[in-house]
Copies of this chain bind each other. A is one copy, B any other.
């Protein structure tokens, strides 16, 4: 049996193998995946585990399996990009400036609106959470905390403060994408580490209950990042 020490179990191992292979483009849409039987052979895994992996991948929108037709790959538009597994596979397989831009464009849609909502509806514990993250960012500037973790926590806490379940659910998405794409942003010349005062401006606007200002402050950060990326393209 193949090494799979990293994975929780055989099914998850296979989900990862097939999922990343599909996203990488190892299987064409016309040909689809090999049949269940072939997958079993190739990975030396029972049909039970194989079928469970297939079910998980079809639940994520990557594939569809039908009797006689076999396992076919879905059009990219059907993939659940907001599933953290799928997103991970995509970012890992094709870590490009284009996908970084796509991701930042989405953040530009989401985060200013979330900041605006937060300024309207954040409660005390929400605000305290944002403040804590901001404090971590300040310490990170002095090298006393991890800059990426602090940055993620800040943006995540703002989404949480929006009180909107859809925005809240995007926290894991943002976290995943930030973690993967950080290597690229770091390689862009002149990309500053997350600027404390810019982030502080969002916090102050939220505390002041000023949605427009919070929106603008959040937008400022992301527009700068986006300009930088598009300048490189």
A: residues with CB less than 8 A from B are 11, 15, 48, 51-52, 55-61, 76-83, 102-103, 105-106, 108-110, 112-114, 117, 164-169, 171-172
CA distance A167 to B112 in the complex (A): 16
Residues in B with CB closer than 8 Å to A55 are: 11, 52, 55-56, 59
CA distance A11 to B54 in the complex (A): 12
B59, B109, B167: the one within 8 Å of A59 (CB): B59
Q: Is the CB of B58 within 8 A of A105?
A: no
Known: A102-B164, A105-B164, A106-B164. A169 touches B56 (CB 8 A): no
CA distance A77 to B165 in the complex (A): 7
Q: Give the interface SS of chain A, mostly helix, strand, loop or mixed.
A: helix
In this complex, the member of A55, A60, A117, A171 whose beta carbon has the largest number of chain B beta carbons within 10 angstroms is A55
Q: Is the CB of B56 within 8 A of A168?
A: no
CA distance A83 to B185 in the complex (A): 29
* CB proximity of A168 to chain B, nearest CB, Å: 6
* CB proximity of A133 to chain B, nearest CB, Å: 17
Question: In chain B, what residue has the closest Cβ to A105?
Answer: B164
CA distance A44 to B147 in the complex (A): 53
Q: Is the CB of A109 within 8 A of B114?
A: yes
Residues in B with CB closer than 8 Å to A78 are: 172
Residues in B with CB closer than 8 Å to A11 are: 55
Residues in B with CB closer than 8 Å to A76 are: 165
CA distance A81 to B78 in the complex (A): 15
* CB proximity of A59 to chain B, nearest CB, Å: 4
CA distance A52 to B56 in the complex (A): 8
B57, B102, B169, B171: the one within 8 Å of A166 (CB): B102
New A-B pairs, 6, CB < 8 Å, besides A59-B60, A102-B165: A56-B59, A59-B59, A61-B83, A77-B169, A77-B171, A106-B164
* CB proximity of A58 to chain B, nearest CB, Å: 7
23 contacts between A and B (CB under 8 A): A52-B52, A55-B55, A56-B56, A56-B59, A59-B83, A77-B169, A77-B171, A78-B172, A80-B82, A80-B169, A81-B166, A82-B166, A82-B169, A83-B83, A102-B165, A102-B166, A105-B164, A106-B164, A108-B113, A109-B109, A109-B110, A109-B114, A109-B167
